Structure 1
Amino acid sequence: MQIENFAHKLKHPVFKVVSQIISEKGLEAYVIGGFVRDLLLERPSKDIDIVVVGNGMELAQAAGDKLRVKRVNLFKNFGTAQFNYKDLDVEFVGARKESYQRDSRKPIVEDGTLSDDQKRRDFTINALALDLRAESFGNLIDPFNGLADLEKGILRTPLDPNTTYSDDPLRMMRAIRFATQLDFQIEISSLKSILENSSRLEIISQERIVDELNKIILAEKPSRGFELLNSTKLLHQFFPEMIALHGTETRDGKSHKDNFYHTLEVLDNVAQHSDNLWLRWGAILHDIAKPPTKRFDSQVGWTFHGHEELGARMVPKIFTRLRLPLDAKMKYVQKLVRLHLRPISLVKSNVTDSAIRRLLFEAGDDIDDLMTLCNADITSKNEFKVKKYKKNFELVIEKLKAVEEKDHVRNFQPPISGDLIMKTFNLKPCGEIGIIKAKIKEAILEGEIPNDFEIAKELMFKIGEDIGLKINVE
């Protein structure tokens, strides 16, 4: 049998150095997993995993010394070591075999052989190993026909899929992540096993689930991952709000669209224009409140009044449960959800400068991302309708640019400060200050006065006089 050899692909100095050391010490070491997979797929990879039959930490230290790396990180509890060399993250681990208890994904680990180590891998394409011993340098060790699966674009588990997924249920999320990223098919028995074991996801932390979910969201076509998550019932385990979007309903001959698939179409549209994870989250959540706001009116059909405002209120709850960051990123997504109908409404009606100013004021520096989301939200099976909307949408974008250049209201701060109002009218902190500031802001946004300090100051005097304040003459 012909042994495949890929020595010509192992050009990085790390491999040469490791090969020299293990030859001198009579050890076995192999590069394994994702690096080999991506090497054969000719995809970029910055993580090298080296499995050692023996002590991985000792080999890492010796390799680090030869390569003169600044620091070798030793993790004695796990028997692993890691260092950074040039553009790569290199990790060493001793070959091991694992056994699991049903209520935990943390394995009982014992020293093992390369074969043991390959059996514990999640997929055949991630069990591929390249020999680093000098006499067989670059030889492919492929006990599960992972190379054939790689060439066919198939995801298959090395062992029985029920064992693989039940032992570590996170592998089910990884299967869908790899299928989405690589555009691979999940082998049918493996797909059935994910459906059967989907409830096992309950023993996995939200952080690990969402880490895989975010990688799916960042794929070139994330909708494929969500369709798989839905059909295997994995999405049901951690994202019920999105599952609730699924389905249509018809009354009196009037139907509404399936908002689950509409959301996926919007997500894919955004993905074509931006790799911003949080803008993609904005696409996922923009219609999240449609199920609780759904109503039927015999005159107009189905309505979802207020879904943008309720959706914005749902964002913090969803982020909290999924262990997503509760910082400026969450506020950004919340803003996109709250404002996502505003530009669309400008398309449908006569566009006034006042409406444009208010949108610019509320969106601030996120206006361009909001417009990307809203443009992506124009979906219909009627191509003429889509073209018409998109043409009108371009007019709104032009109007936004013109108003911003003229009035400078993006991230607008009223030109009159509370301190100036207090000094002008000899006031202590009180409600009248807020009244004056609000009236000046409204006047600027309505276009009654320009965004100019002196003109705003004159209006401040007038408003103060109208509400009975006296100017401090001192």
Structure 2
Amino acid sequence: MTHTSTSTQQDARTGTTAAPPASGARMLGTAIAHLEPVMPLLRQLGELFAGAGHEIALVGGPVRDAFLSRTSPDLDFTTSARPDDTERIVAGWADATWDLGRAFGTIGVRKGGVQVEITTYRADAYDRETRKPVVEFGDSLDDDLVRRDFTVNAMALRLPDLTFVDPYGGLADLAAGVLRTPTDPEVSFGDDPLRMMRAARFSSQLGFDVAPEAFRAMREMAASIEMISAERVRDELVKLLMSPTPRRGLELLVESGIAEHVLPELPALALEIDEHHRHKDVYEHSLIVLEQAMALEGPREVPGVEAPTEVEGPDLVLRLAALLHDIGKPDTRRFEPGGGVSFHHHELVGAKMTRKRLRALRFDKETIKHVSRLVELHLRFHGYGNGEWTDSAVRRYVTDAGPLLPRLHLLTRADSTTRNKRKAARLQATYDDLEARIERLQAEEELAAVRPELDGNEIQAVLGIKPGPVLGRAYKHLLAVRLDEGVIGKDAASERLREWWAQQPESQG
């Protein structure tokens, strides 16, 4: 095994020589060892391309992750071979090949149970108005690496001899935990403004800091993110939220000003607080609720509940709801006499705002529906007080939440950020009691599938009516009876239906 000497790397941006990290050799050894499970494939590919007179290298995320002892979900390669050449070289070796984007130089390859992407060296130029790259194939690995987003993603392993290539100081930045661009950040972000959101995402995924010059460029160029499609922005936001520490990235988006253009409801939560009108910092509260909701994902225990329903993490719907649950507060804030502050109906306003924002970001209909419903319901528990809800109220809580009940449990618990330990313990105990009551009622009445005790055909027979709007109203009435009174039997349900019918104008005809 050989590797490019890292003792005197030249910084391509400044022309200065950058010293390697002291642990560079050890890190490289760790990376090679971490790649051992795929090493036969790497060597075979390298020998195939070398035999055909072409270069090939493992590049980007897989190399970075190997240095971090992380298993990358993808294996990406870059090569001097053009797409047609790549197909010819792997023919007979690969189990399958497919066109992933020939115009962009990418061919998909499957060998055994492993799928990889092989892309021709690129030397893209970007149209600064449309953000679409003008694809030009390159002839140099170094030139291919310089077009990548960050130095930690601009490292490569040449195959088959495992030569380590790091022309832009990625290993030093990796050791320092810094996100830096291979070229001037103004140039890199100007080529593709989405890279600014990737900085926030990688900060969350890897726990890295953004280099000062890159952060300055993000602040100066924040508005250019509006040139990026809503779908690409959404995908980066989702990856950020599903990371281990989304708070880091979200704070970076807010502090850089990018959030003003992609999720303006978030910085709007930083309400001005003065000495006369005291209330929680809603922005900070929302970030804490997100973190607390994440901590509740997975297995949990609830006193009095034999097997609490688990929300497997990371859960996008729960995390979005936790982040957005209070976005209705700025629009509903009212200063009360005596220095108090109220946010009446902020959950309803927030649900509407959530739907609007998620639609703008092109989220799917089901995600929009579920997140906005959780925002709408997140205050419902506070009417429970000290457990004085009737069984009817508990039934309605379960029915209104429907399949979102497990997530609503976690969101409601996470929404307690009080520093008063006694109050926090009381809230937790009260919600424990509610969950235990729900479990008892579910066992007795199968609440998850609650229905009126008479079906549509039986309602028609009792009232002597045909299908139509009246039947729908009658069904809703019996559902309300079921929620209010529980299981009362079909005879009693028929009597309640006749009593209702006697008061309807249609019965008089």
Normalised to the residue count of structure 1, the TM-score between the two structures is 0.91
1:249-272 residue CA offsets vs partner (Å, 9 max, x unmatched):
336x33121211111111111112
Mapping for residues 256-275 of structure 1, pairs under 5 Å: 256-272=279-295, 273=297, 274-275=313-314
Within 2, Cα distance between the matches of 1:400 and 1:299? 39
- RMSD, aligned α-carbons: 2.3
For residue 304 of structure 1, what is the aligned residue in structure 2?
343
Within 2, Cα distance between the matches of 1:90 and 1:432? 60
Cα pair 1:72 1:82 within 8 Å, conserved: yes
Instruction: Pick one of 198, 202, 209 that aligns with 1:178.
Output: 202
Cα pair 1:263 1:287 within 8 Å, conserved: yes
For 1:173, the aligned partner's letter is M
1:172-220 residue CA offsets vs partner (Å, 9 max, x unmatched):
1111100110001111111111111111112111111110011111111
For residue 322 of structure 2, what is the aligned residue in structure 1?
283
Q: Per-residue deviation at 1:43?
A: 1.0
33-42 vs 95-104, which moves further: 95-104
Partner SS state of residue 66, structure 1: coil
Within 2, Cα distance between the matches of 1:46 and 1:331? 30
Instruction: Pick one of 143, 160, 182 that aligns with 2:184.
Output: 160
Equivalent pairs: percent with the same residue? 33
Within 1, Cα distance between the matches of 2:464 and 2:389? 41
Partner SS state of residue 459, structure 1: helix
Cα pair 1:408 1:451 within 8 Å, conserved: no
Cα pair 1:30 1:52 within 8 Å, conserved: yes
Cα pair 1:53 1:112 within 8 Å, conserved: yes
Matched, 1:217 2:255: no
Matched, 1:142 2:166: yes
For 2:256, the aligned partner's letter is T
Matched, 1:359 2:397: yes
Within 2, Cα distance between the matches of 1:451 and 1:372? 32
297-306 vs 368-377, which moves further: 297-306
Cα pair 1:27 1:54 within 8 Å, conserved: yes
Cα pair 1:293 1:305 within 8 Å, conserved: yes
Instruction: Pick one of 432, 444, 454 that aligns with 1:394.
Output: 432
Mapping for residues 228-267 of structure 1, pairs under 5 Å: 228-250=252-274, 253-267=276-290
Matched, 1:15 2:42: yes
Q: Per-residue deviation at 1:37?
A: 0.6
The verdict on how the C-alpha distance between 1:121 and 1:465 changes in structure 2, with shifts beyond 3 A counting, is: closer
The verdict on how the C-alpha distance between 1:204 and 1:74 changes in structure 2, with shifts beyond 3 A counting, is: closer
User: Which ranges of structure 1 fall in alignment gaps of 5 or more residues?
Assistant: none
For residue 59 of structure 1, what is the aligned residue in structure 2?
86
Matched, 1:25 2:52: yes
Within 1, Cα distance between the matches of 2:181 and 2:466? 72
For residue 109 of structure 1, what is the aligned residue in structure 2?
135
Within 1, Cα distance between the matches of 2:172 and 2:98? 36
1:76-108 residue CA offsets vs partner (Å, 9 max, x unmatched):
322221123444431111112222332232233
Instruction: Pick one of 205, 210, 213 that aligns with 2:229.
Output: 205
User: Which ranges of structure 2 fall in alignment gaps of 5 or more residues?
Assistant: 7-24, 298-312
Partner SS state of residue 72, structure 1: strand
The verdict on how the C-alpha distance between 1:85 and 1:341 changes in structure 2, with shifts beyond 3 A counting, is: farther
Matched, 1:457 2:494: yes
For 1:268, the aligned partner's letter is E
The verdict on how the C-alpha distance between 1:450 and 1:52 changes in structure 2, with shifts beyond 3 A counting, is: same
Matched, 1:405 2:443: yes
For residue 122 of structure 1, what is the aligned residue in structure 2?
149
For residue 418 of structure 1, what is the aligned residue in structure 2?
456
1:372-422 residue CA offsets vs partner (Å, 9 max, x unmatched):
110000112323322221122211111121222223222422122333222
Q: Per-residue deviation at 1:351?
A: 2.7
Within 2, Cα distance between the matches of 1:406 and 1:424? 27
Within 2, Cα distance between the matches of 1:245 and 1:83? 47
Q: Per-residue deviation at 1:57?
A: 4.1
For 1:225, the aligned partner's letter is G
The verdict on how the C-alpha distance between 1:226 and 1:285 changes in structure 2, with shifts beyond 3 A counting, is: same
Partner SS state of residue 244, structure 1: helix
Within 2, Cα distance between the matches of 1:209 and 1:242? 15
Matched, 1:76 2:99: no
Q: Per-residue deviation at 1:44?
A: 1.6
Cα pair 1:60 1:82 within 8 Å, conserved: no
For residue 344 of structure 1, what is the aligned residue in structure 2?
382
Q: Per-residue deviation at 1:348?
A: 5.2
For 2:55, the aligned partner's letter is E
